[in-house]
Structures are given as structure tokens and as C-alpha cells.
């Protein structure tokens, strides 16, 4: 069996791994690169193998950095099965067509304003490509063992993190090659902890927070203070949030604060992201998959103003009295939140509250690191609003959480391969694993292939 690292090596986005066994080629995750331009350019580079030579794809979860390259793969000729959990399939139905639409919008915008070096600028893929990709989805039941051909089986187990997120086990009859996907937190306020993984001969492990611990600060109180301070000076709180998961957490926290009379009950709360609205509906439909009760969901629903059309979204920008606006994307790398940032960021009365990891090169990362100006749609926007990052709300386990999850692996893995992190985070996690368990852990480079030998 061979394992090649085609993405998320040396960085947090672009997850793609190729498993080859008996001539069968399985692509594990099919993610888009996001963030720095150098990374985004990689989305345009051809994969080392032609799309039509891939036999199957399996997705750990629906986040775009794990699923967002799939329509591009389909555009290049892939027409095999896409295995994943039902939750991932449901979320991809929301996320992928939107990703295609955004690719088309970006190309249209670049053509109109002439910022692309390519004439005409073409989308990486279209909404139509995304819809074709969705037809290939084959949801698997959680915890079941699924034969996918040529002696390979797959098993998905819940990983917390977001709805439908899973860890993955690929078994070839001898070796169990496991993938953590993105690992959730034991103490996530809305998601359940990741299930333990009792065995992994080779383990591909994420390291987003490989060198950090989540702070113990009470995020609810911090948010309370920010909202009250901003409302008192007549400002608007803008929360850029991942449409899936963090947007629902933001709504839940605001609903708790209102119920406890810690913030003004009459403060309007807008959810301005068609994707986040659909993801919130999925939360209501799958009460077994998260910690929110039916009453929590009903309270959120009753207390939220859903902004669906572009006209309503634009009208929201003309609002001058205190309010809370939650809008995607979470790292301000695209989406409707950009229009709000353009209007709200220059005003010192307003506050901008990020929720969790900000990938290098994103506007979110620049702003939480104190940038006084960011470029949006080709124009410089001054940042006079207060900028906060509630990192304690991240959907990723910190290194302690990852180590705790690893204690369930009973037999020492032959090797732990650390990916999905900035280089310092990945190296640091390798050291933690070595110190705590004495296991062999390494950080593979992009494009490398490792041989998984058969035991004697």
C-alpha cells in the first residue's frame, strides 16, 4: 500500500491524500487551498494523476478545504463514487453549489474589473460542476465496514468538529491506515466529542492547533462584554463565522446571553448567509448529531432575522443602530461578510469578532494581527472598528485534546504522519507525541509518497 501527500502538507488547507493498493486509487479528501495567493494558485495546478485514473473518493467532512476541489475533479473527468457520511452529503449539497457560484462570481468580477492576468478569467469550476459532483455521493452509515473493491474497506466514525465530520479507517486486510480528518473538541459547546479510535497502524493526523492550547477564558463573558460595549456606543457587532458550525454556535451564545438578560433582549440579530441559514436548518433536522436541544434550536430560530436576498443584505449595510450581524466566510476570505466589512470596519463604533483559526494570508489573520487596512474587492478598507478573535471557540481540538484522543489507540502506531498544520504546529505536535507516547511521528512534505510495507 502507498500513501501520497497531495495537499494539506505544510499548511492547513487543500487536504488530499492518495492511497494506492493493488492498482486501486483512493483519494482521501478533495479539498481546496484557501488563504495565501501562493496556496490558492495550487488549485490551478494539475494533480499528479489524471482525475479519470482515480477509482474512488472519500471525504472526512464537508468543510471546503476538505471537499471544495471535488467539483474541479469532476470537471476534469472524475465520475467514480464519493463516499462520506450522510451529514457530510447533506452539507455538501449546501456548500458545493455555492462554492461553484462563488468561483463563477470571482471570474465575472475579475473580468469586469480586469484584475486577472488571464483573459478571459475562467472559474475553477461552476455551480453546474458542483451539482454533477453531488450525483456521485454514496453516503455510508457510521461505524459500518464497507467494501469498496480490490480488497479495501472503509469505516467512518464521528469526529465531532462539524455535522457529519468523521475519522476514517482504510483497511487492506493487513494494515489499518487511519485519518483523523479534522478533530473536534471534547468540550465543544454544540458538538459531541470525537469517538475514540482503538487501532491505527499508520495514522495521518491533523495539527491545526498542534502547538497551542485553547485559553481557559470564558468566551461567553468576553462576547457579552464586546456586545454591551459596542451597543452602548451605538455600534454594530459583526461576526464573520464559518457557515457550518461556528455560525450556529454564535447564534446559540447570543441566545443564551439574551435569555440570561446579560445583553439587551431587543438587540436585533441577523444571520446573513444563505449557506449558514441552510446549515442552521440541518441542525434542527438532525438533533441526534449535536448537543443543542429542540428548545435551544427553537429559541435560536425565534431570535434570529434571516437575511436571504442580496437586496436585504445590502439594506443591512445602511443600518445605523446597534445590532449583531453574523455572516460568512469565517476568515473573511469571501462571501457577504466582505460587503459588511467594507461598510462597518472604517467606523470606530463597531466591533468585528472572529471565531477561531485564521489561516495565514486571509483578511481575518491580518485583522486579528492588528492590520489597520485590508484590501477588499480591489480597494483598501481602513480598519477603525475593534477587532477580536474568540479563539476559544475553535472547532478544532488543541494539542492536549489531540493527545487525549490518541490515548484510545491501544497498540502504538508504526508511524504517525502529521499534516494539516502550519510547519511549526506540525513539528511541535510530533514532539508532543514523541514525548508523551514514544511513538514515531513525522511531518511529510507535499508531494511525497510513503510505502506501507506488508508485515513479514
Closest distance to Zn ion from the beta carbon of 241 (Å) = 14
SS3 for 449?
strand
Name the one range near Zn ion by CB under 5 A: 56-64, 91-99, 209-217, 321-329. Answer: 56-64
Name the one range near Zn ion by CB under 5 A: 179-187, 362-370, 408-416, 434-442. Answer: 179-187
Cα–Cα dist 316/46, whole Å: 41
The nearer residue to Zn ion, 64 or 73, going by C-beta atoms, is 64
SS3 for 388?
strand
Q: Is 355 exposed, middle or buried (0-12, 13-18, 19+ CB in 10 A)?
A: buried
SS3 for 207?
coil
φ, ψ (nearest 5 deg) of residue 399? -65, -30
The nearer residue to Zn ion, 63 or 185, going by C-beta atoms, is 63
The nearer residue to Zn ion, 63 or 340, going by C-beta atoms, is 63
Q: How far is CA 209 from CA 138, 143, 204, in A?
A: 31, 27, 15
Which candidate, 405, 408, 368, 402, places its Cα nearest to that of 385?
Answer: 368
Closest distance to Zn ion from the beta carbon of 243 (Å) = 12
The nearer residue to Zn ion, 162 or 385, going by C-beta atoms, is 162
294-302 and 246-259 helices cross at what angle (nearest 10)? 80
> Distance between the two ends of the chain, CA-based, in angstroms?
14
Name the one range near Zn ion by CB under 5 A: 59-67, 195-203, 292-300, 349-357. Answer: 59-67
The nearer residue to Zn ion, 164 or 322, going by C-beta atoms, is 164
The CA dihedral of 180, 183, 187, 193, to the nearest 10 degrees, is: -50
Regarding 185 and contact with Zn ion (CB under 5 A), the answer is no
Cα–Cα dist 193/185, whole Å: 6
The nearer residue to Zn ion, 16 or 132, going by C-beta atoms, is 16
Regarding 63 and contact with Zn ion (CB under 5 A), the answer is yes
The nearer residue to Zn ion, 224 or 365, going by C-beta atoms, is 365
The CA dihedral of 262, 307, 101, 39, to the nearest 10 degrees, is: -20
Total of chain residues touching Zn ion, rule CB under 5 A: 2
The nearer residue to Zn ion, 191 or 344, going by C-beta atoms, is 191
Q: Are strands 441-442 and 236-240 parallel, antiparallel or unpaired?
A: unpaired
Closest distance to Zn ion from the beta carbon of 165 (Å) = 7
Q: Is 321 exposed, middle or buried (0-12, 13-18, 19+ CB in 10 A)?
A: exposed
Closest distance to Zn ion from the beta carbon of 297 (Å) = 22
Name the one range near Zn ion by CB under 5 A: 11-19, 69-77, 176-184, 349-357. Answer: 176-184
The nearer residue to Zn ion, 63 or 157, going by C-beta atoms, is 63
The nearer residue to Zn ion, 30 or 231, going by C-beta atoms, is 30
Closest distance to Zn ion from the beta carbon of 65 (Å) = 7
The nearer residue to Zn ion, 1 or 243, going by C-beta atoms, is 243
- Which of 182, 224, 296, 398 is in the footprint of Zn ion by CB under 5 A? 182
- Give the H/E segment covering residue 60: none
Q: How far is CA 204 from CA 21, 26, 134, 419, in A?
A: 17, 15, 26, 7
Closest distance to Zn ion from the beta carbon of 439 (Å) = 24
SS3 of the chain: helix, strand, coil, percent, to 5: 35, 20, 45
Name the one range near Zn ion by CB under 5 A: 57-65, 314-322, 354-362, 401-409. Answer: 57-65
Name the one range near Zn ion by CB under 5 A: 21-29, 63-71, 168-176, 231-239. Answer: 63-71
Closest distance to Zn ion from the beta carbon of 397 (Å) = 11
Regarding 296 and contact with Zn ion (CB under 5 A), the answer is no
Whether the link from the prior residue into 309 is cis, omega within 30° of 0, is: no
Closest distance to Zn ion from the beta carbon of 261 (Å) = 34
Name the one range near Zn ion by CB under 5 A: 178-186, 268-276, 288-296, 335-343. Answer: 178-186
Please state the separation of Cα 320 from the chain's center in Å: 32
Closest distance to Zn ion from the beta carbon of 71 (Å) = 18
What does the binding site for Zn ion look like in residue numbers (CB under 5 A)? 63, 182
Amino acid at each position: 500500500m502507498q500513501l501520497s501527500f497531495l495537499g494539506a502538507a505544510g499548511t492547513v488547507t487543500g487536504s488530499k491524500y492518495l492511497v494506492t493498493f493493488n492498482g486501486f486509487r483512493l483519494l482521501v479528501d478533495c479539498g481546496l487551498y484557501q488563504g495565501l495567493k501562493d496556496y490558492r494558485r495550487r488549485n490551478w495546478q494539475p494533480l499528479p494523476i489524471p482525475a479519470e485514473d482515480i477509482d474512488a473518493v472519500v471525504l472526512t467532512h464537508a468543510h471546503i478545504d476538505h471537499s471544495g476541489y471535488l467539483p474541479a475533479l469532476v470537471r476534469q473527468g472524475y465520475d467514480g463514487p464519493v463516499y462520506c457520511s450522510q451529514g457530510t452529503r447533506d452539507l455538501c449539497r449546501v456548500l458545493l453549489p455555492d462554492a461553484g457560484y462563488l468561483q463563477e462570481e470571482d471570474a465575472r468580477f475579475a473580468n469586469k474589473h480586469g484584475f486577472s492576468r488571464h483573459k478571459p478569467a475562467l472559474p475553477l469550476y461552476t455551480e453546474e460542476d458542483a451539482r454533477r459532483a453531488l450525483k456521485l455521493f454514496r453516503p455510508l452509515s457510521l461505524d459500518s465496514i464497507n467494501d469498496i473493491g480490490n480488497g479495501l474497506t472503509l469505516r467512518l466514525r464521528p469526529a465531532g468538529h462539524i455535522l457529519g465530520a468523521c475519522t476514517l479507517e482504510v483497511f487492506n486486510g493487513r494494515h489499518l491506515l487511519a485519518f483523523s480528518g479534522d478533530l473536534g473538541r471534547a468540550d465543544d459547546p454544540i458538538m459531541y466529542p470525537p469517538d475514540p479510535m482503538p487501532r491505527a497502524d499508520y495514522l495521518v493526523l491533523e495539527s491545526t492547533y498542534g502547538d497551542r492550547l485553547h485559553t481557559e477564558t470564558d468566551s461567553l463573558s468576553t462576547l457579552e462584554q464586546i456586545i454591551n460595549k459596542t451597543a452602548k456606543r451605538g455600534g454594530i457587532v459583526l461576526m464573520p463565522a464559518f457557515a457550518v458550525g461556528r455560525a450556529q454556535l454564535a447564534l446559540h451564545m447570543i441566545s443564551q446571553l439574551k435569555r440570561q438578560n446579560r445583553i439587551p433582549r431587543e438587540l436585533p440579530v441577523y444571520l446573513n448567509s444563505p449557506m449558514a441559514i441552510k446549515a442552521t436548518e440541518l441542525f434542527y433536522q438532525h438533533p441526534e448529531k449535536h448537543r443543542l436541544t429542540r428548545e435551544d434550536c427553537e429559541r435560536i430560530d425565534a431570535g434570529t432575522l434571516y437575511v436571504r436576498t442580496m437586496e436585504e443584505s445590502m439594506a443591512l449595510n445602511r443600518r445605523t443602530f446597534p445590532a449583531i450581524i453574523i455572516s460568512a466566510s469565517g476568515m473573511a476570505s469571501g462571501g457577504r461578510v466582505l460587503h459588511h466589512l467594507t461598510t462597518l470596519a472604517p467606523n470606530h463604533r463597531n466591533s468585528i469578532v472572529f471565531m477561531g483559526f485564521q489561516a495565514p494570508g486571509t483578511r481575518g489573520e491580518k485583522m486579528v494581527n492588528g492590520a489597520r487596512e485590508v484590501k477588499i474587492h480591489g480597494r483598501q478598507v481602513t480598519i477603525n472598528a475593534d477587532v477580536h478573535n474568540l479563539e476559544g471557540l475553535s472547532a478544532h481540538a488543541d494539542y492536549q485534546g489531540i493527545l487525549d484522543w490518541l490515548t484510545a489507540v491501544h497498540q502504538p502506531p508504526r508511524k504517525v504522519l502529521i499534516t494539516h498544520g502550519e510547519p511549526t504546529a506540525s513539528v511541535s505536535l510530533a514532539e508532543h507525541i514523541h514525548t508523551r507516547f514514544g511513538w514515531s511521528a513525522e511531518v511529510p512534505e507535499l508531494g511525497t509518497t510513503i510505502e506501507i510495507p506488508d508485515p513479514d
